[in-house]
Homo-oligomer: A and B are copies of this chain.
Amino acid sequence: MKRIKIAAPVKRNSTRRDKIHQVLTEKRSFLSSQEIHKVLIRQGISIGIATVYRQLESLVQQGRADTIISPKGERLYSNCSQAETHHHHIICRICGAAEELDIPEVEKLSKIFAQHHKYTDVSHSLELFGVCFSCASIQSSSIKSKRKPKLS
């Protein structure tokens, strides 16, 4: 039962990874792997879905992308502009647009509750979901049934 140490593979440059990252930075919203794949295909870039999954994982590990799990259980990715610090998001249910939030109070609250319940090694997940201003405008001036929310 010996521990075998496996060196992390050296990442080479990858055109695909750059393309994926580009999609994330252009669209300022949380996108699923599948959506990113569709965007790239539409742009005429030949890429397999497996590569999208693999490179998104790689971007997250490099701190170049954020990932959350949607209320539906789908994994969503977005460009990360604050690689260093833990932060949260407010995400539009209709269009997926996301903005980064700094909510330092949550870190404090998390620690207080952890102590109180004798929990250690505590992390937390917090995301806000709502309807952004522009989607709210469109919604109020058009037939509602035509606008399907991306996220439940």
Stretch of A9-17, A20-28, A53-61, A125-133 on the interface side: A125-133
Q: A69-B73, A73-B75, A126-B124 are known contacts. Are A113 and B131 too (CB-CB below 8 A)?
A: no
List residues of chain B with CB within 8 A of the CB of A131: 119-121
* A126, closest chain B residue (CB): B126
Residue A90 is within 8 A (CB to CB) of chain B in the complex: yes
The range of chain A's interface size is 35 or more
Residue A103 is within 8 A (CB to CB) of chain B in the complex: yes
List residues of chain B with CB within 8 A of the CB of A120: 130-131, 136
Q: Which residues of A contact B (CB under 8 A)?
A: 69, 71, 73-75, 90, 92-93, 99, 101, 103, 105-106, 109-110, 113-114, 117-133, 136
Instruction: Please name 22 pairs of A and B residues whose Cβ atoms are closer than 8 Å in the assembled complex, sorted by A.
Output: A71-B125, A73-B74, A73-B75, A90-B114, A90-B122, A103-B109, A103-B113, A105-B109, A106-B106, A114-B128, A114-B130, A118-B132, A121-B131, A122-B128, A122-B129, A123-B129, A124-B126, A124-B128, A124-B129, A125-B125, A125-B126, A126-B126
